[in-house]
Structures are given as C-alpha cells and as structure tokens.
Chains A and B, each alone.
Chain A
Amino acid sequence: MASERAIEISQPGLATTVQDRGRIRYYDLGIPQGGALDQYSAELANALVGNRDGEALLECTYLGPVLRAHGSLEVAVTGAPVPVKVNGEERPQWTRLALADGDELSFGYIGGGSRYFLAFSGGIDVPAVLGSRSTYLLGALGGFRGRKLEPGDVVPIGAPANPPPGDTVAEEHRPVFGPQQQVRVMLGLYDHRLTERGLANLTEQEWTLTPVADRAGLRYDGPGVEWRERVQPFGAGSDPSNIVDAGYAVGSIQIPGGTQPIILHRDAVSGGGYAMVATVISADMDVVARAAPGTKTRFVPVDLDTALVARKDRAQRLAAAISSLG
C-alpha cells in the first residue's frame, strides 16, 4: 500500500477539488469548461514538478487540506500566498518540494487571494471524463468521484516525469495577489440596455468583491447600475435586466435587478435569462480568480484588438516563466 504513489486526505479543507485545463467542446450540452480557476498559477505548479501542462492537480480554496504521502512524491504549491508545512515545518511556495513516504503536507492561513494549487509529479491519476479530469460538482462528473475531496480519500498519483533543472519560480514571474485589481473587460452583448449613467457606474466607479464568490461566479458590491426602461420582449420576463434565455459567455458580467454585477467564471451555468453587459477578456480571467472578498476592483473597458494583444502577452509571460526553469 505505502509503495503505491498516492495522497491520503486527512482533512479535506474547505473545497479541495481535482482540476486541470478544463473540459471544452461540451458547452452546448450545458457542461461548463471547469478547470483550475487561476490557470497561470496552475501551469507553473505543473512545470515545477515536470508535468505536462494541463495535467490534473488540486485546487484548494481558502482553507487547505492536510494530506499524507504514499510513496515518495514531489510537490509544488503555487497560487495564493499560504504557509506550506511538511511534517509541521514551514517550506517555501513556488518551489519543488520532496515528500517521503508518510510525510504530512499541511497549510496555514492564506495571506491574500483565495485559491492555491498543488501539483504532484505525475499528476492526479483519475480517469478523464469527456476529455478532462476537472471536477464538475453539479453534474457529479470528472475529478475524484465527481466530488470534493473527503477525509480518508486515497487519491492516486501518476508516474513521474523528469522535473526541470530549475526548482523555483523567480519573484518576477509570480502573479500578484493584492487588495486592488484592474480587470479589463470588453463591453458588448447587452450593454445597450444600460443607461449612460449605468454604464458609467460600471466602468468608472469602484466595485468590491463580496463573500458571494465561488468557481461559478463572483458577485460585486458598488453603486449599482440603471437599466433603460422599456416594454420587455415576449418571453423575456418582466425585469429590465431579463432577456429571452440565451447562452452565457464565460467571463461575462450580468447584473440582475441592476444592483450587484456577477462575473461568471469557469463553473458557471452555460445560459440563462439575465442580460450580460460586458465580458472579462481571456487574459484577465486568472486575475479575477485571484481576488479575495473585499478586493477593490475597477472594470476597465478595452476593445477586441487590445484584448487579443493582452492574450498574446499573457501567453508569452507564462512561456517565459516556464522556460526560466530550464
């Protein structure tokens, strides 16, 4: 038993799930993309232990797990700043750590952000479902038995690959987990349904992330917005923020009732009847994923060309961080 490569969960933490790059091509069936919420941090965790990018790892939310190594394993912890402990002794984050058979890995309180990632050399070895090992909780699909980890779970780890020569991600390549964020968005979808003042509130005022934030969506508090008054189209519903149910872009922002904007993230429902007025650009989805409740946020409108440049820039930054490990 002990020679099998696995991790045994002593305490599961608040919401620890298996995630990878995500499950695409099933959105038309209502199955969300899922995947690690902060993909940049997740990919660097994989790179540190020599995994292919997109390998399955653990995503921990706020309160992390306590787990025990079966067999000798290498692990890297990236994402939100958190004290990492091996057998109670503090170890650094953003670096490759060796675990001997029976070693205990545990965590302190996070010092910003909301999610951190644990990649093990060889990856979490659960079956891929519809092309992904990500956990889709609502559908009880993928991941470890389609659910969050629970005490006593023994989670298999795959055969290790060769790790890179470098064992630490330099400071300059690590993301920032601060109390303030600028999130670039593209206006569109149903933004014409807001009044000028509503639109100005969205893009010029400050918004604060509420505690109502999870893998499906993040709800913000602020000055609210105004919807244009009008006769609602047949089938849409009576509130001016209602539309005839439509597909939801991942990253899109809806404002039910005009009060609190909600950013739909990787596990969000795939469609519904609330008007979306802007969409977080793909390069900044990781930024949103790093927000903790209370984070002051400004939504900065950009155009499509700017979004495409930002997308390339993010890819180049990630590639540079990975290649810096050698």
Chain B
Amino acid sequence: MSAPQTLPAQARYTWGGDEFLFVEIAEEMSLPGNLRAMGIARALAAKSLDGVVDICPANASLLIRFDPDVVAPADLETTVRELETATQRQSSTVLSTRIIEVPVWYDDPYTREVGARFREGYHQDPSGNDLDYAARINDLDGAAEFIQRHHTNPWIVSMVGFVAGLPFLFQLVGRDKQLEVPKYLSPRTDTPKLTVGHGGCFACIYSVRGAGGYQMFGIAAAPIFDPAQKLADFADSMVFFRPGDVVKFTPVSEEEYRAIEAEVAAGTFRYRIVPVEFDTERAVADPEAYNATLLEVLRGK
C-alpha cells in the first residue's frame, strides 16, 4: 500500500466552455488535496467577486461557474491562482466545522430488495449481495467486519453534489485502511432514498430516490434533503450537509430505525451535532488517535 503522496506544486487549470473554470488540485484522492480545494473555495467566496456564480469544491478539484459578461475569464484565473498560492502558504490548518452522528440501519431490507433486483448485467457478482461482495474484495471476514470498519472511524464530507444535497464522504483513515469498491458495472435505475452507498474510496448518502451506481450497504434513518424545511435542522437550508462536515455513522437496529422514523414524521427529530475545530495536520499525521478525540467531542466528553 502506498502512503499518501504530496500534492502537485501547482493545480491544473482548464476551461469548461466559456462559463466554467476547473481547477484540479491533484489527480488522486487525499485529505490534504480535499482540504486545499475547500480552502481555495472559501477564500474565493470571501472575495465576493462580481461575476462568480457558483463555487463548487469537490474531492480533489474545484469547479467555478462564472458569467463572462461580468468577469473576464483571464482575470478570474489570475485571481484563483493567487488564492491558490496564498492557501498553500497558510500556516493554520484548523477548520471550524461540526461533527454529526448519522444513524444507519446496515444490511436493511430496502437496499437488499433493490440490490436483488439489479444483479445480472449490473453487478460484478450477481450471485451475492453488495455487502458480502465488498467484504470479500477488501479481504475482510464478512459483512459484519465490513460494517464494523465502515462506522468505527469518522468520515469527512469531501464534496456535495450529483443530486440535491448528496454528500460524498472520505474516511479519516490512512490509505492502507481505506475501503475501496468498484461502482456497479452499469448504473441502477433505482436506489432507495437515504441509501448509504460506496464507490471507489467514497461513501455517499443518496438524498433522493433515483439512479445510482454505488454499492449499497444500508439506509440512513433521517432525511438529509428537506425541500419543505420541516425539521429544525433544515431551518437555514433545505440541504443538510456542507463540505468539511465530519460524520460518524452509528449502526441502529430496526427498532431504533422505526423510532427515528416516527420522530421524523412528528417533526421532532434532531441530529446530534457538535461544533469542532478540525485540525487537519493531526488528522493526517495520526488519523486513528485523532479520531478518538473527535469521537470524544461528539459524545460530549
């Protein structure tokens, strides 16, 4: 297993037509690359530059939508390059964010049913289910060990997108501990809402029902996209997750899942959310030790 590598000295700049500037920090996924993408995004947002329409930080890159009638593309590129340099020089590696507990019913009947419907022609191993397959190709003892590995260490929201409010999550462990699975051979046309999926090294939570190509391991108990903004956690935004959020999956039984479902229906459910200063240097240097302190913060110790 290779250790995380240092980032390229300079990001790669390229155009997506006349309205998008794409900045690739690195070709491969790493926590430092992700944090640099977020850092440039934050610095650009803070500038409130006229003509910048959307700033979308992603796993190891950054997509900026602009109006070329308002800002000259070359001027925008110059500004972003300056911010990239400034972000590299920043000594502070502390991110003010929040740690959130997300209850998950692993190996649930909803994703199992859909998984069974999409085997032949869709899946690498039509005979089994996604969890058994993921355990096997990661050289683990079985589904139970995979599930254990999935929720023991926390994850960071490395990107929001695909569909409304869908978080991509990157586990805060060394590269040798990363869980990796391929995407389905061909995407499914159906995925239950709130499915906890996995593709490449990324987890995701499907915010809405629809197509999807990630392997399916469980179902989150509470919504993460609420267009009606009924729950208190959605008072500020119909989308719950933001890049940089730290997520701890917690396995729940069917009984606990049903209880949360009832709270959601009654409008009383609240996520457990604790503010945290995420120290990126410590997270990279010794992930497991640092994760222990993160989990203490979540538990209020």
Contacts and interface: CB of A to CB of B under 8 A. Distances in A.
B28 A234 contact: yes
Contacts of B59: 235, 244-246
Contacts of A237: 182-183, 199-200
B14 interface: yes
B210 interface: yes
Contact of A307 (B18, B55, B227): B18
Interface residues of B, number: 55
Interface string A220-241: 0000000000000111111000
Nearest to A30: B161
B54 interface: yes
B175 interface: yes
A238 to B, nearest CB: 6
B201 interface: yes
Interface string B151-164: 00000000111111
Given A24-B53, A30-B161, A273-B183, A246 B16 contact: no
A29 interface: yes
A271 B199 contact: no
Given A138-B210, A234-B175, A237-B182, A249 B16 contact: yes
**Could you say which of A234, A238, A311 has the most chain B C-beta atoms within 10 Å of its C-beta?**
A234
Nearest to A271: B161
A27 B57 CA distance: 11
B163 A245 contact: no
Given A249-B22, A271-B56, A273-B183, A129 B227 contact: yes
Contacts of A26: 54
Contact of A281 (B17, B27, B53, B180): B17
Interface of B: 2, 14-20, 22, 24, 26-30, 53-63, 65, 68-69, 73, 159-166, 168, 175, 180, 182-183, 199-202, 207-208, 210, 225, 227, 237-239
Interface of A: 24-31, 129, 136, 138-141, 146, 185-186, 188-189, 233-238, 242-252, 269-273, 276, 279-282, 304, 307-308, 311
4 closest A-B pairs (Cβ-Cβ)? A249-B16, A235-B29, A247-B63, A279-B17
24 contacts: A27-B56, A29-B160, A29-B165, A139-B225, A146-B227, A188-B22, A234-B30, A235-B28, A235-B29, A235-B180, A235-B202, A236-B27, A236-B29, A244-B61, A246-B24, A246-B58, A250-B16, A252-B17, A252-B20, A271-B56, A271-B161, A308-B68, A308-B73, A311-B69
